[in-house]
Every structure is written in C-alpha cells, then in structure tokens.
Amino acid sequence: MEAKNVAISILLGVATFTVYVAVFSYINLINKILLGKPTAIGLVGIVVIVAFLYGVTVSHVLRLINIEPKH
Amino acid sequence: MLEGVPAIANEVIKFIDINTSSVLVLIILGFIGGTLSGFLGSGGAFILTPGMMSLGVPGILAVGSNLTHKFGKALVGARKHGELGNIDAKLGLSMIIGLLSGVQAAVYINEMIFKSLGKAGSDLYISIIFVSVLSVLALFILKDVRKTKLGNVKETARTKIAERFQKIRIPPIINFKVANTTVSLWVVLFIGLATGYLAGTIGVGGFIGVPAMIYMLGVPTTIAAGTELFLAVFSGAFGAFSYALNGFVDIRLVLLLYLGSIVGVQVGAIATKIVNGTQIRLVLAIVIGLSALNRAIAIPTYLSDLNYLTINSNLAYLLSVASSFLLFTGAISGVIIIFISMKQSQMMKYTTIGRTLP
C-alpha cells in the first residue's frame, strides 16, 4: 500500500511538473489562444487539470507522512 | 504587443516580470493565503488580491487571476464538503441566477472603469470597495470575539433575524430540506446577487454569502460554508471566463499561487483541529483589518495618479512600502500565531497526558 502511494505521488508530481513547465514555456502562445470567446474556456480547463493534479499530489504526500486532514 | 489580442489586454498582459524573487514572493503569498484560508474556512482573497496589488499587479488582473485560482480550489473543497453532506444543492442552484448576474455586473463595471480611467482608476475603485467591506467585517468579528470572551453570546439573535426574513411571503416560497429553512426565492436571489457582485469586484464573495445565509436564511453554519464553496465553483468559473475574454487573467500567477496555497490549505485545515474558535476569529480580524489598512494607505497614490491629489514621489514610495509592510506583516503574523497556538496546544496535551500517567 505504501509503495503504491509512493508510486502514485511520484507519477502525479511528474505530471504536475510537466504541466507547469509547459504553461511557463508557452505562456505567450497560451495567452494568445485563451483570449477570445470560444477559447477562454481553455483557461478554466487548465485550472481544473492543475488544481486536481497538484491537489491530489499534495493529499497523497500528506497521507504518506500521516498528516492529511480528515475534513 | 500580441497580435489579435484586445488593446486593453495588451496594456496589462505583461504586468509583472516573473523572476526568481517574484516567483518566491508569489509562492509565499499563496502559502500564507492558503494557510489562512484553510484555517479560517474562507477563500483567502482578502489577502491574495491586496498582496498581488502590492506587488504591482493591476487590481483588475489580480481579481481576475484570484477568481481563477479560487475556482480550482473551490472545486477540490466542494467535493470534500459534498462527501460530508454539507451542501444544499437546491439552495445553491436557486442562488445561481442572482450570483452570476452579480458577477457579470461586477466584471462589466470593473472593465468599464479600467477602459475609461485606466489602471489607477480601476485600482482606486477596487481599493475603496476593499476598505469598505473589510473594515466593517474586521469590526464585526472583533465585536463577536469580545462578546464571546464576556460570555455574552446571543445565539437567538441569528434566528430572530432569519425569522424576520422568513416572514417575507412574496411567492414563490421555497423549502430547502438540507438547510432546513423555508424562504421567498427573492431573498435568496438578492443574497446571490450581492455575493456575486463582491466576488466579481474584489474576489471576496463568501464573506457576504456565508453570514447572509446564516443570519438572513437561518442556515446552519456548516451547510452555509459548504453551499458557499459549491457556489464559488460557479462564480469562480464564470468570473474567470468573463475576465479571460479580455485578457485579465494571468495563468502564471494562478499556478504560482497554487504552489503555495494548496499546501497551505492543508496545513490550515490541520490547525483548526488544534486551535480554539476564539483564536481563529481573532487571527481573522487582525489579518482582515491590516488588509483593509493596506488598501487604505494605497488610495492617496491612486488619487495622485489620477491628478486629484498632489503627493511627491518620496511620499508615494513611503506609502507603497508602508502598505506592503502592513499587509505582509499582518499575514505572516497571522500564520505565526496559528503555528504558536498549535505548538502550545500540543504541549498542553502532552503535559496533561504526562500528569494522568501513573
């Protein structure tokens, strides 16, 4: 169980890091694409992906060190 | 200039240089905001928006980015509250029309002021709303803390106010099972409108939404907090989308704030188990009061930029340093108080265990 949690945390951490690097490397292109009615929704999509990836990663890491809040 | 981008957006799109120090400050700001947010059960916008403005981010961009940041965080929080049964979805859905209208009106006014008066005018408008709302809140919370210390808490006050609002019998009258209240839809829509307007203007919506649900509708505190988070998902998504249409969201800011805030939220949530309620409210009042002062001190500079007032550059610099110092000192002190209270509670726990052991 511990090993599984470690593996999940590492995987999520790598995925979060990749999204961060991609956003910061292509910020001008992303800003250009996001402006305008049909594509502004892409911004919301990026936020959902990052919030979930990073949020779940932090939860997993806290569970590994036994300090995840229960509420 | 970016091609194919609205002119207003181009003016603010390169608002702040992302270098090592700004990255660190934004992550620390996110952590402080997140810790206070997890500890106090609020969105943390009362510290994040003024914090970003103190770093030189235009107010409208700080609000837009903060709404986007809040949306992702609310999504994670609402899921947890949903699992605990703290959300009255019927109440939330009834408030949505008012809420989204409020957000839309706020975005429209903010963008209109930015177009006509520029950055200084927009920052002035946002700061005035901040000072008004946060000062009233800080005083209200301090009064509440004082009453609690004196043992003079009137629990019946909230039910009396709620009863008055429940007497408004303008149809349609709706019964909300989870929130255990029956009230006119118009009262619900009004609360939604006020919450949405403040969320869209300064990014702080829950401060009006939660007390209004508790005092005006008679909703239990946990259901009010859960339902507000549920609503924050919609106000955040809609506000983020509306501001993004004209380029008033910087995704880099959002992601840097997340780096600190998501860890901070968990730390703050752990602290609530250890620190007592009066201390929580005291920290809240101090931080909110200093945030209000931060914005109040910045107002003369905005008035000077708009040529309504003449202040020399030395005084402007001094005011800017003083306002940043107050905000960050207040926020860091709040976090330190939380950690000290946690440490003291832990030590008291160990002392008690030691005494009871044979």
Phi, psi of B175 (to 5 degrees): -100, 130
Look at B76-85, B117-126, B213-222 and tell me which has the smallest mean pLDDT: B76-85
Of chain B, the percentage scoring pLDDT greater than 70 comes to 84
Is residue B152 pLDDT above 60, yes or no?
Answer: no
Phi, psi of B326 (to 5 degrees): -60, -45
Round to whole Å and give the CA distance between A68 and B8: 43
A20–B241 C-beta distance less than 8 A: no
B245–A59 C-beta distance less than 8 A: no
Contact list, B240 vs chain A (CB under 8 Å): 43-44, 47
Which range marks the domain in which residue B202 is found?
Answer: 7-352
- Residue B84: closest C-alpha in chain A: A71
Chain B residues 232-271 with a CB less than 8 Å from chain A: 237, 240-241, 244-247, 249-252, 254-255, 258-259, 262-263, 266, 269-270
Chain A contact probe: residue of B11, B249, B261, B338 with most A CBs at under 10 A? B249
B16 and B57 Cβ atoms separated by less than 8 Å: yes
Structural domain includes residue B1 = no
Residue-wise pLDDT tens digits, B188-204: 888 888 888 988 888 88
B37 and B268 Cβ atoms separated by less than 8 Å: yes
Q: What average pLDDT score do residues B246-257 get? A: 84
Structural domain includes residue B57 = yes
Q: Which of B13, B71, B241 sits opposite A31 (nearest CB)?
A: B13
Computed on alpha carbons and rounded to an integer, the radius of gyration of chain B in Å comes to 21
B202 and B126 Cβ atoms separated by less than 8 Å: yes
- Residue A44: closest C-alpha in chain B: B237
Beta strands in chain B (DSSP E): 173-176, 181-184
Structural domain includes residue B302 = yes
CA distances in angstroms from B338 to B274, B285, B328, listed in the order given: 9, 13, 15
Structural domain includes residue B163 = yes
Phi, psi of B33 (to 5 degrees): -60, -45
Is residue B305 pLDDT above 60, yes or no?
Answer: yes
Look at A33-47, B71-85, B260-274 and tell me which has the smallest mean pLDDT: A33-47
Structural domain includes residue B357 = no
CA distances in angstroms from B164 to B154, B168, B173, B180, listed in the order given: 17, 7, 14, 16
Structural domain includes residue B15 = yes
Q: Provide the CA B137 distance to its chain's centre, in angstroms.
A: 11
B251–A34 C-beta distance less than 8 A: yes
Which two structure tokens, joined as six digits, stand for B220? 């239990």
Contact list, A48 vs chain B (CB under 8 Å): 72, 75
Residue-wise pLDDT tens digits, B232-243: 888 888 888 888
Q: Which of A28, A59, A68 sits opposite B2 (nearest CB)?
A: A28
Domain total for chain B? 1
A58–B266 C-beta distance less than 8 A: yes
- If you count residue pairs, one on A and one on B, with CB atoms under 8 Å apart, how many are there? 99
At residue B15 the predicted structure's pLDDT band, cuts being 50, 70 and 90, is: low
Query: What is the residue-averaged pLDDT of chain B?
Result: 79
This complex has an ipTM of 0.71
CA distances in angstroms from B330 to B6, B287, B290, listed in the order given: 38, 5, 6
- Residue B262: closest C-alpha in chain A: A55
> Looking at residue A41, what is its pLDDT?
65
B73–A50 C-beta distance less than 8 A: no
Residue-wise pLDDT tens digits, B70-101: 877 777 677 767 777 777 888 888 888 888 99
